[in-house]
Amino acid sequence: MAIHPPEQRIWWNEKVATVELIWIGVAFLWGLVMFFMMIYWHGAGGQNLSNEAYRIEPEAFGERVDEMIEAYTVREDEDSGYPVVHPPPGSDVYMLARLWEWYPILELEKGQSYRLNLSSMDWQHGFSLQPTNINVQVHPGYVLVMTITPTESGEFSVVCNEFCGIGHHQMIGRILVTE
């Protein structure tokens, strides 16, 4: 009973029960199995995306986002007023996270590859692309680069899945894929 002091004050010298030792062993071995499964899933399961990460100041990342918007904006989104940007296939495309939005709206072409650059201007956010199984953390001070090739056309949502404050649940972005 934890509410009473232990009978033996030097309790950490007492013998550990065999069944407890077995559980510690099982948990340790399972941890090792799961560790090596991360490497296995990278190749066999299509999980744990290949990516690159570099240090970058938020201001410098913001400038790159603005340059892309200036060069390749095709229209303004009617609902949000955000620029819809259609960068050339094969290029670096940028999306920034900040309290509480993903910016801007990207319009990509199906079957073309892009280098998607993600970074945060303030807090940690989570980039979760719906309804696909892509899920990465987005940190300020680092840019995460993934090569993506959309295989389906349509409208995809970017949901923030790292709790980032009072507007977290409204932090939804968009990626459009055209035929």
Residues of the shown chain interacting with ligand CUA in the complex, contacts defined by CB under 6 A = 100, 125, 160, 162-164, 168, 171
* Minimal distance, residue 142 CB to ligand CUA, in Å: 15
* CB of 84 or CB of 160, closer to ligand CUA: 160
- Among 79, 126, 86, 78, which residue's Cα sits nearest to residue 102? 126
Say which amino acid occupies 166.
I
* Minimal distance, residue 158 CB to ligand CUA, in Å: 10
* CB of 124 or CB of 153, closer to ligand CUA: 124
* CB of 32 or CB of 166, closer to ligand CUA: 166
* Minimal distance, residue 172 CB to ligand CUA, in Å: 10
- Among 74, 70, 95, which residue's Cα sits nearest to residue 85? 74
* Minimal distance, residue 165 CB to ligand CUA, in Å: 7
* CB of 150 or CB of 173, closer to ligand CUA: 173
CB burial of 84-105 (b: ≥16 within 10 Å; e: otherwise) equals: bbbbeeeeebbbbbbbbbbbbb
* CB of 87 or CB of 173, closer to ligand CUA: 173
* Minimal distance, residue 100 CB to ligand CUA, in Å: 6
Cα–Cα distance, 89 to 39 (Å, whole number): 30
65, containing H or E segment: helix 58-72
- Among 158, 86, 157, which residue's Cα sits nearest to residue 126? 158
- Among 106, 96, 125, 113, which residue's Cα sits nearest to residue 177? 106
